[in-house]
Amino acid sequence: DFHGCADSCIFKKCVLFSGAAAIGDQVVFAPFMTLEGPPAVVIFNVTSKNMVRVEVTGPVTNGYSKFWGAAAWKDKVIFGPHYLNQVGIFDLSTRTLSYGAAGSQQTNRGMAIVKDTVVLAPYEGFIVQTYNLVSDTWTDFDPR
């Protein structure tokens, strides 16, 4: 099995994660890699101990390197892009995944949200990317 995938399979579909964020008693896991079955977000209810797999569509496909990091924003969970150029916006009430506007392609690992702005941690290089959730716009900052 690949990277301990047999131990990581949820609902007999192999999905690995790279972060989680909570809204109330719901914890939403950010999809990183899908080796079997369609890409999915998993929701864990801390109170009921129930886990639900929600298949998603869009730029995420089977394979590697979707999102890295998650943070709660209002009633949504935002996923930081890893090898994507869009943030993922998961609406917990409708259980749907949408995407923000495309930004420049950069590898990021990790994120934080300050007010309405996602700040992405660069994995390679110095450029810090920000994405405004209200205006749907990107800004790249090069401190050099």
Burial of residue 2 (CB within 10 Å: 0-12, 13-18, 19+) is exposed
Which whole number is the average pLDDT over 24-50? 86
- Give 7-58 as a DSSP string: HHEETTEEEEEEEEEEETTEEEEEEEEESSSS-EEEEEETTTTEEEEEE--S
Task: Assign 103 a pLDDT band (cuts: 50, 70, 90).
Answer: confident
Which whole number is the average pLDDT over 9-30? 79
Enter the tokens of residue 81: 């892009």
pTM: predicted TM-score of the whole model, two decimal places: 0.84
Beta bridge partners of 70: 79
Is residue 132 pLDDT above 90, yes or no? yes
